[in-house]
Structure formats: C-alpha cells, structure tokens
Amino acid sequence: MAESKEKFPEVQGGGSLILAWQIKNKPVLVVGGGEVAAGRILNLLNADALVTVVCPAEGLNPEVRHRVAHKQVTHIDRKFEPSDLENLPSPDTSASPLGPPAMVLTAVDDPAASTQIWKLCKAARIPANIADVPPECDFYFGSVHRDGPLQIMVSTNGKGPRLAASIRKFIGQALPVGVGDAIERVGLLRAKLRELSPDIEDGPNRMRWMIRVSDRYSWNEMSDLTDEDMDNLLSYYKPKKVPDIDVLKAMRGGGMSAEDIDVFDGSFGFAI
C-alpha cells in the first residue's frame, strides 16, 4: 500500500487521557479524613458526587469534620473494610443503599493498607486513586482553575504537582476578567436557542450560528448581555445574521425591532 503524503499529528506517548468525569449523584468512597482527603472531598462535592468518608472520628481534620457536621458527606466512623466496596449507605437513612462506589480515593498514612485497598479495587474493577502513589492510580487529580462553569485543569501526570499549581495560577491570571460570567450567558443563550429551534436536525444550524455569535462579541459584551438582549438576538437566528452589540443595545426597551434595522454582519465580505 502506498504511503499517504498527508501529514498527521505525531503520537506523544506518556500522557493521560484528560476527561471531564460526570460524577454527579454517583457514590464515591473516600478513605481517610486528613488534609489530603479534605481536598479530594471538596473536588468531589464541587462535582455534585455523593461522598462517603470512611475514617475513625479522631482522624478527621477540621474541614472534614465541618463536611460531616453539615451533612455534606456520609461518615462511617471506623477503618476501611472490604465490604465498603460492595454497598455504600445512602445519605437518606430511610432510602436503600447506593450500591458499590463509582470510584475510590484513599488518603491514609499507611502504605500497606492503601496498596491492599488498591488491589481490592482492581479486583472489583472500581477506578481508584491512591494518594501520592502514582503507580497505584487509575486517574490523577490536576491543579484546577475555576471560574463559574469554566474549569481548566493542569496535569503533570503525577510528576510535579507543585509545578502544576504554579502553571494553573499563571493561566488563571492571564484570562480576561468576566470569563465565567460570559460562559454562563452563552449557556443561557444556547438553552433559549434550543427552545426556539428544538428539532434535532437543526443542530448543525444552531451550532454554526452560535459559533458566529461567540466570534462576534467580546468576553465583556457576552457577560453584559441581558435577557432582553438575548431575546432580541434570537430574532436574528432564522435570517442567519448576528447584529453588532450596539444594535442590540438600541433595541432595548422596544426602541427598535429587527425589522427596523438592516444588519450587515460581514458574512459576505465587501468590495471597493
């Protein structure tokens, strides 16, 4: 077979497959209650997971105690037992157990016990993360920048967590102010557009129009869009146009309608 003359990306081995793991309302087991466990628990709660912490009460640090006291997590006051991988209790004591955990995180100062938990997880085919032991991790926690719906993760694949934090801080400081607000407004606009044009076959048209909207307005203009602005903007969807931001502002309060304004949006270029 003749070799293709096309150029394709070179494979760079040694990386991780970075994914956004949807763990909402899924049971997760955390073994340990110290400082590292507290950080893991916060990450899980931010992702709306159902967290169970197995740790003797005297081993809980102040932050984890706070989570337990405010019923943000379910606490089992003892050391880990293999049966914990079979059925986790529901936060609602009157409800049925949650079943086996979707993932397990250990953060205890006992390497032998951690390795044993990892082996049990492997046998049960449950993804596990053993704190500070990269070879015994099915996944890593990176350093995350968070601004509302925006999440940016920096991973060094377990080689330099402190460096990952520095890089994450650098990226966060370089981002424009209001990025999270802009994304929230874009998400709301997309939801409104799906209501306006709900047919599945119209998906490509919706995507193309949203790309043009995202390219047309700055972050600040996006974050400043009012609900009225969005409704006025959506009136340009069927004509496949995207007005200038000043046009949307002129339409506020019913001052003008889309029919009153002849919008040139650069779609066809111009001639001199």
Task: Tell me how far apart the alpha carbons of residues 237 and 255 are, in angstroms, rounded to a whole number.
Answer: 20
CA 213, CA 241: separation in Å to the nearest integer? 9
CA end-to-end span of the chain:
51
Residues linked to residue 144 through DSSP beta bridges, in sequence order: 153
CA distance 242 to 214: 10
Return the residue matching tokens 């000043």: 246
HEC-encoded secondary structure of 216-253:
HCCHHHHHCCCHHHHHHHHCCCCCCCCCCHHHHHHCHH
- Cβ partners under 8 Å of residue 240, min gap 6: 205, 209, 267
Buried b (16+ CB within 10 A) or exposed e, 132-170: eeeebbebbbbbbbebeeeeebbbbebeeeeebeebbee
Rounded to an integer, what distance in angstroms lies between the CA atom of residue 38 and that of residue 52? 12
Would you please indicate which residues are annotated as catalytic (active-site) residues? 132
